[in-house]
Structure 1
Amino acid sequence: MGTAWLVLAMGSDREHAGNDGYDDDPARHYSWDDTVQNHARLQKGDVIALWNAKALLGISVIEHIEIGPTKKKRMRCPVCQKANFKARKEKKPVYFCKQCRSEFEDPESWIEDVTAYRSHHATGWQAMPGVLSGAQLRALCDSPKSQLSMRRMEWEKLKAAIGATTGAEAAVTVTEATRELVGGHRTSTARVRIGQGPFRAALLERHGNVCAFTGPTPMPALEAAHLYSYAATGEHNVGAGLLLRRDVHRLFDMGLIAVDPATLAIDLTPELRQYPVYAQLHGQPVLAKLGKDHRQFLGEHWDMHRGQNAEPTL
């Protein structure tokens, strides 16, 4: 059953310095662009396995893929014009080119138009640090000697390897998530959220470190929530955005949490009220100051998830 992809998530530890990297959060999303081989082959419902070139980090199922134009900073060796160089932590000059053996302080750089991709996989994420070694993962790939950052493998082989370890239960969870996602649904794409950082910064400046539903929250746990469809507009509207705690943001997007437009009180589905940590929010007022746009989009969200034609959420 199905395809799995082994993708490299190195973050700031990456050796390859030909670009500025990607804003990956392994438990939630993975980003790449059309300069990467196999860039267009990943699909909704595929299993995604993230590793750091030494061991497995975790596995999940791709829920959807955002696609859109963006700009990327590219860098190369000023001598041989190749991108096969790395930064050194102690020696000077800082950079060393593995292609021509040159040393230099600053690489040449330029801005290039690219197509950006971001796969989302937070729902089914199973953290599995070190469950499989780098050597085991490479052996499972269709091309074991490949050096690509995105490598195809058979999910059944990966599942069997995980099942032979303490990760058997996680493999079952991902299998079920895969069946659910590919069960007659089409692959969806949307525009990449370019400018999400400034949008969040503007909301933090306006509202402070406060989740609109739960109250004061450490800044790293706050996310910028669009109350409207960003994919449809491609614009960040600060007047129609709220800061939400990460877990609350996910529950709001799923419709398990909504705001009653008549009372502006927080409403939880009966299923969610079974959890004490969330049940205390039911019936409480929204803590952020709401403007006209907030009220409009919260009302549309309510109609979508609480209206007569709303689909069950759980």
Structure 2
Amino acid sequence: MAAWLVLAKAGSKRISEGYDDNPATHYSWDSTVPNHATLKVGDVIVLWDSVEMLGLSVIEDITYGQTTKKTPYCRECKKADVAERKQKKPRFVCWNQECKHEDEEAGWKVKQVKTYTSRHEAGWIAARGALTAPELRALCVHENSQNSLRELRWDDFHHALTHGGTPVPLRIVDTAQQVIAEGHGSAVVRVRKGQPAFRKHLLDVFGEVCAFTGPAPLQALEAAHLYSYAANGKHHKGGGLLLRRDLHRLFDLGLIAVDPTTKTMHVADVLKAYPDYAKLDGAPLTVAVTADHVTWLAKHWDMHRESVPPVAIPSQAGPVEAVTA
């Protein structure tokens, strides 16, 4: 398994460039960063702020774009290895070991770059301080690397987290990686066909209400299929509910299921360490559902609760659906 240590400290990855990062949901970078094209869906992403670990998850999706970017270079050696000092003067210093030129100004050039934004909220585990900066660097494939995207030795990293002073359970990450690895591929294109109309239909039926938690902002609600849409490519009657984005991902992973007999939620043990999710366990749905909904919820329940352990995902499970709000 590939795992990446990525720097999420605002403004530190490149001079004068801000990145739209939210450690718990998404991460952005561009083609000026070494290893920029190496990260892929299904890889583990570990975020830190140069001082300590923030958390980790599994990449569910990567979106691509293009933009122009102003980048600095050393006026002496003409290379891009330039750092801006916060207090010490001169303001700029070249990182190139053969140069190390110091200057009050840097050279600047504008170029077209490819942009990347990964999404990873489904399997996010907050673990601030679980590992320190020196410990994280020691677990990298190249321990002395200064890159913003650094490959980790996964087995060693996994052991360090699960056998440290305060062990961090990684079951959510393991489950998310398994589901994405088994299902990713056909979902990217097929789940989007007809999705806006499907979401509009659900909004007309239920209003701006998450079926698990109640009223929610329109922007936070997604049309969640109660079955593997990517496997059959159809929108079935009674086959969808509106769910908050994080709950949609957890439902897809089988970490939250609905008992079709009682119409109450069942939360996997691994989520009960989080109060906001734990309180959903045993709670009723917040919307009235039809017999068709119950039929599909029963299939989901059979797949994730009766025939397998609470958070294990069988090989026939559908992929995490790449649906946007």
Same fold (TM over 0.5): yes
CA contact (8 A) 2:31 2:37 kept: yes
Which residue of the partner structure matches residue 3 of structure 1?
2
SS of alignment partner, residue 26 of structure 1: coil
1:73/1:109 contact within 8 Å kept: yes
| Residues 65 and 188, structure 1, Cα contact 8 Å, conserved in 2 | no
Quick one: which amino acid aligns to residue 102 of structure 1? Answer: E
- Structure 2 partner of 1:82: 79
Matched residue type, 2:237? Q
1:23 to 4, 20, 24: 20
Contact between 2:72 and 2:82, CA under 8 Å: does it hold in 1? no
Note if contact 2:75-2:106 (Cα within 8 Å) is conserved in structure 1: yes
Deviation at 1:84, TM superposition (A): 2.7
1:39-188 → structure 2 map (5 Å cutoff):
39-91=36-88, 93-98=90-95, 99-104=99-104, 106-165=105-164, 168-186=167-185
Question: How far apart in 2 are the matches of 1:179 and 1:114?
Answer: 32
Using a 3 Å threshold, how does the CA distance of structure 1 residues 146 and 89 change in structure 2: closer, same or farther?
A: closer
- Aligned partners of 1:118 and 1:287: how far apart in 2? 23
Q: Is the 8 A contact 2:74 2:101 kept in 1?
A: no
Contact 1:66 1:189 in 2 (8 A): no
Change over 3 Å in CA distance of 1:90–1:151 after alignment to 2: closer
For these two proteins, the number of residue pairs brought into alignment is 226
Alpha-carbon distance between aligned partners in 2 of 1:159 and 1:128, rounded to the nearest angstrom:
13
Cα deviation, 1:257-287, whole Å, max 9, x if unaligned, reads 95116xx833433xx0xxxxx33x28xxx89
Change (3 A) 1:302 1:171: closer
Superposed displacement of residue 9, structure 1: 2.0
Q: Is the 8 A contact 2:123 2:173 kept in 1?
A: yes
Which of 190, 194, 203 in structure 2 is aligned with 1:259?
203
User: Deviations along 1:91-135, whole A, 9 cap, x unmatched?
Assistant: 55533445443321x422222111111111122211212211222
Equivalent position SS for 1:129? coil
Partners of 2:107 and 2:187 in 1: CA distance = 37
Comparing 64-73 and 181-190, the one that deviates more: 181-190
Match of 1:206 in 2: none
What's the CA shift string for 1:241-262, capped at 9, x where partnerless? xxxxxxxxxxxxx97x95116x
Query: What percentage of residue pairs aligned between the two structures are identical?
Result: 34
**SS of the residue aligned with 2:63?**
strand
Structure 2 CA distance for partners of 1:56 and 1:259, relative to 1, 3 Å: same
| In 2, Cα distance between equivalents of 1:187 and 1:71 | 32
1:3-56, CA deviations, whole angstroms, 9 ceiling, x for partnerless residues?
211112221345x53x62422222221112223222222111111011223321
Structure 2 CA distance for aligned equivalents of residues 96 and 166 of structure 1 = 39
Amino acid at match of 1:12: G
Per-residue displacement from partner, 1:182-225 (whole Å, max 9, x unpaired)?
123228779xxxxxxxxxxxxxxxxxxxxxxxxxxxxxxxxxxx
| Aligned partner of residue 114 in structure 2, secondary structure | strand
The answer (yes or no) to whether the contact 1:75–1:107 under 8 Å persists in 2 is yes
Moved over 4 A (4+): 187-190, 301-307
Shift of 1:61: 0.7
Q: 1:35 to 1:259 in 2, by over 3 A?
A: same
Cα RMSD over matched residues?
Answer: 3.8
Q: Is the 8 A contact 1:258 1:267 kept in 2?
A: no
Secondary structure in structure 2 of the residue aligned to 1:159 = helix
Return the alpha-carbon distance in structure 2 between the equivalents of residues 86 and 303 of structure 1: 46
Measured in 2, the distance between the counterparts of 1:303 and 1:103 equals: 55
Which amino acid is 1:101 matched to?
Answer: H
Q: 1:265 to 1:88 in 2, by over 3 A?
A: same
Deviation string, structure 1 residues 49-107 (Cα, Å, up to 9, x no partner): 11223321211110101112222221123333233333333355533445443321x42
Please list the CA deviations of residues 153-191 of structure 1 after superposition, one character each: whole Å capped at 9, or x if unmatched: 24332221100136645422211111122123228779x
Structure 2 unaligned spans of 5+: 227-234, 242-247, 252-325
